[in-house]
Amino acid sequence: MTKKYFGTDGIRGKVGEEPITAEFVLKLGWAVGRVLAKDGGGKVLIGKDTRLSGYMFESALQAGLSAAGVDILLVGPMPTPAIAYLTRTLHAQAGIVISASHNPFDDNGFKFFSSFGNKLSDEIEFEIEAQLEKKFTTVDSALLGKAERVDDAGGRYIEFCKSTIPGLSDFKGLKIVVDAAHGATYHVAPSVFRELRAEVIEIGVEPNGLNINEKCGATNPALLQEWVVNTKSDLGVALDGDGDRVIMVDANGDIVDGDEILYIIAQARNDCAKHENGNQIGTVVGTHMSNLGLEHALTTQGIPFERVPVGDRHIMEMLIREGWVLGGESSGHIICLDRTTTGDGIVSALQVIAEMRKKGRCLHELKSGMSKYPQCLVNVKMKKRVDVMSSNTVQKAVKDAENQLADSGRVLLRLSGTEPLVRVMVEGKNEKQVYQVANELATVVSDAMQT
């Protein structure tokens, strides 16, 4: 079975275009309420990022949930990982985040969490979609859901973030630039680091409903690089619009991406495990796009590494299935299941800075144990979707490319899940060879799509 509305991370699209309309969202709230309130009652937590359309969709969700007889807890603009945490601690049946994450302001969407703070299962998502096909009804007036606002949500989440590092951690003496992307973390992220006694310079903290992720944040860290260098700061932290991903910048102004962040945290966890019980940590999970340098750096230290398809959902599924705790993507989605239940940009940054303090080393030194391999990504457009992977010519070209790179590189062909593209990725130690092989392979793929 395939889902009509749910993608790999909830529901997302252009505001005003199906299904991201007020009419649909009213029924979505009702459907979620019907699925979660089979035995009557219950409560659902609603948070949002700073997009202007969030006001409209918050009201629509609230009306739909109330019509299904479900109470609503409103927390206003809050990071996605905060909703996961608050859903669990406030004993709600589910949490809903109104956000399109790193997308521009004219997109919006909905992410969902279970009562345990995890993403909803496929079974629950299918149940919700089945309800959406049914006629909208309203419970008896005496059974309508009530709404209340949670006034201390920000303070609760700030304390939680601080609790994920050792209690005596102190960032005094560090100057940190924090870029909140004019998004959901604008009022909590600077406070977390400031309460740990760091000197904080905050940017991207003036949301107007239209400027979320605009030339700032984790998807556009150039602004953060400038601020770190110009203010002679020790490091910078860039979050995306809903706060579930992070990119960092060292004192030199160099970007520290998700692979390097994951390496630093994995190394720290491994050192702790060996010190406490003489064991290694479990396998670290990345994706097919994770840099080969990460894999080599970890395995050199005896830390196993596994890859899954792109998407934090796939990482989470493997971590839970295997009982492992650490995984992440190059984009900055880092999952520390020994600290929280979902990807959390602030929590991930805290793990790195705590390790800086513990080791007495700067961020540049911590990441230096991993050497990133040059990577070339070529997007080959398709006029129509064809299975180029089954082409004998393409298969032979891939094999030839792999033989050229030998053990010092890798090749990946991947169909885009959102655009009519084939992504050709080549990675290896020799940058000139990597770009040559990638472009040669892209040409073969393009020609194969014409036949």
Question: Can you identify the CATH homologous superfamily of domain 375-450?
Answer: Alpha-D-phosphohexomutase, C-terminal domain (3.30.310.50)
Across 81-168, the runs of DSSP E, i.e. the strands, are 94-98, 107-114, 147-149
User: What distance in Å separates the CA atoms of residue 233 and residue 446, rounded to the nearest whole number?
Assistant: 46
- Long-range contacts, stretch 353-357, CB < 8 angstroms, 24+ apart: 353/171, 353/174, 353/176, 353/193, 353/198, 353/235, 354/165, 354/166, 354/169, 354/268, 355/264, 355/265, 355/267, 355/268, 356/174, 356/235, 357/169, 357/170, 357/171
User: What distance in Å separates the CA atoms of residue 62 and residue 73, rounded to the nearest whole number?
Assistant: 9
Segment 397-449, tens digit of pLDDT: 999 999 999 888 999 998 876 677 899 999 999 999 999 999 999 999 998 88
> Is residue 228 scored above 60 in pLDDT?
yes
Token pair listed for 12 = 């997302």
Segment 383-407, tens digit of pLDDT: 776 777 788 999 999 999 999 998 8
DSSP output for 380-406: EE-SS---GGG-HHHHHHHHHHHHHHG
Segment 323-366, tens digit of pLDDT: 999 999 999 999 999 999 999 999 999 999 999 999 999 999 99
Instruction: Assess contact for 61 and 96: CB atoms under 8 A.
Output: yes
Across the range 261-277, mean pLDDT stands at 92
156-255: which CATH architecture? 3-Layer(aba) Sandwich (3.40)
**Partners of residue 77 on adjacent β-strands:** 48
pTM of the shown model:
0.93
Residues recognised as catalytic: 101
User: What distance in Å separates the CA atoms of residue 229 and residue 262, rounded to the nearest whole number?
Assistant: 24
Of residues 122 and 253, more confidence is placed in: 253
Across the range 224-231, mean pLDDT stands at 98
Across the range 196-220, mean pLDDT stands at 97
Q: Which of the listed CATH numbers 3.40.120.10, 3.40.50.1980, 3.40.50.300, 3.40.50.150 matches domain 11-151?
A: 3.40.120.10
User: What distance in Å separates the CA atoms of residue 294 and residue 133, rounded to the nearest whole number?
Assistant: 45
Q: Do domains 156-255 and 375-450 have the same CATH topology?
A: no
User: What distance in Å separates the CA atoms of residue 138 and residue 255, rounded to the nearest whole number?
Assistant: 52
> Is residue 148 scored above 60 in pLDDT?
yes
Instruction: Assess contact for 332 and 218: CB atoms under 8 A.
Output: yes
Domain ranges in the chain are 11-151, 156-255, 258-357, 375-450
> Is residue 92 scored above 80 in pLDDT?
yes
Across the range 185-201, mean pLDDT stands at 98
Residue in the block written with tokens 């990638």: 438
Q: Reduced to 3 states, what is the DSSP secondary structure of residue 45? A: strand
Instruction: Give the closest residue to 29 by CA, choosing from 53, 3, 63.
Output: 63
User: What distance in Å separates the CA atoms of residue 36 and residue 114, rounded to the nearest whole number?
Assistant: 10
Instruction: Give the closest residue to 158 by CA, choosing from 86, 264, 69.
Output: 86
pLDDT computed for residue 41 by the predictor:
66
Pairing of the two strands 421-428 and 375-381: antiparallel
Using alpha carbons, list the distances in angstroms from residue 271 to 182, 279, 303: 36, 9, 11
Q: Which of the listed CATH numbers 3.40.50.1220, 3.40.120.10, 3.40.1180.10, 3.40.50.300 matches domain 258-357?
A: 3.40.120.10
> Is residue 39 scored above 60 in pLDDT?
no
Of the chain, the percentage scoring pLDDT greater than 70 comes to 98
Query: Which amino acid, 377?
Result: L
Across the range 240-253, mean pLDDT stands at 98
For residue 40, what pLDDT band results from cuts at 50, 70 and 90? low
Segment 44-80, tens digit of pLDDT: 999 999 999 999 999 999 999 999 999 999 999 999 9
Report the range of poorest mean pLDDT among 249-263, 298-312, 405-419. 405-419
